[in-house]
Amino acid sequence: MGKSTAGELLRQRGVEVADTDQIARELTEPGQPALQEIRQRFGAAALFPDGRLNRAQLAKVVFSDARARADLEAMLHPRIRAAWEALALNWRAAGRENGAVLIPLLFETGGGADFDAVICVACAESSQWRRLRQRGWSESQIRGRLAAQWPVEKKIERSDFVVWTDTTLEAHAAQLERALQRPLTSSATFGAPV
């Protein structure tokens, strides 16, 4: 959808950004408790021989089995939430005017009400599929991931702003800039689902 690009554009504008995908990667590094829990639940096949998480293998399992996905989310989502909440508290303590938390499953996890404003980063379905294919994902992998999310139209309805990414980078940036110009409280935090 363009979430990573939106995050980078926000950083360029001096906005603090927490990317929950990056937080999830950090939480599943070797030596982290979450990785051990994943190994216990999903077996050694979920890891590479060197002990790192085999994300592709784990994705095959969790996006084809709703119970497995729920188990993984139960392990990771509370930790991810605690991490971005801690970052937001640090931003406030440092007097930062605003910050953004990039959360792909914001509404699905019930987090929309936690933010002063929500920006939905969206594109046409054909663009989304093209972008996911460019990552090397198969049709079944794409279908599995999209089935685990709300339809983008539903996310758009619930959002305060929409940044449409089927456009130039300059237009993408201008849309974000307009959203940032909205008067917000001094502790505003944006959520950006995809």
Query: Distance (Å, rounded) from C-alpha 171 to C-alpha 176?
Result: 9
pLDDT tens-digit readout, 75-126:
999 999 999 999 999 999 999 988 999 998 899 888 888 898 899 999 888 9
Of the listed ranges 9-13, 28-32, 128-132, 144-148, the least confidently predicted one is: 144-148
Cα 48–chain centre separation: 24
Q: What is the pLDDT of residue 183?
A: 56
Range of the domain at 86: 3-191
- Residue 53 in tokens: 């998480």
Overall number of domains in the chain = 1
pLDDT tens-digit readout, 34-80:
999 999 999 999 999 999 999 989 998 998 899 999 999 999 999 99
Q: What is the pLDDT of residue 187?
A: 38
Residues 137-150, mean pLDDT to the nearest whole number: 84
Rounded to the nearest integer, the mean pLDDT of the chain is 88
Q: What CATH number did the domain enclosing 28 receive? A: 3.40.50.300
Query: Distance (Å, rounded) from C-alpha 164 to C-alpha 18?
Result: 21
- Return all residues near 73 (Cβ < 8 A) that are at least 6 apart: 109
- Return all residues near 49 (Cβ < 8 A) that are at least 6 apart: none
Query: Distance (Å, rounded) from C-alpha 53 to C-alpha 72?
Result: 13
CA atoms 63, 64, 66, 67: torsion sign: negative
C-alpha pair distances (Å), 91 with each of 94, 141, 155, 177: 5, 36, 26, 20
Looking at the chain, which runs of residues are DSSP E strands? 16-19, 98-102, 117-122, 161-164, 188-191
Q: What is the pLDDT of residue 170?
A: 92
Q: What is the pLDDT of residue 39?
A: 96
Tell which residue, 87, 83, 113, has the closest CA to residue 98: 87
pLDDT band at 153 (very low <50, low <70, confident <90, very high): very high
Q: What percent of the chain has pLDDT over 90?
A: 56
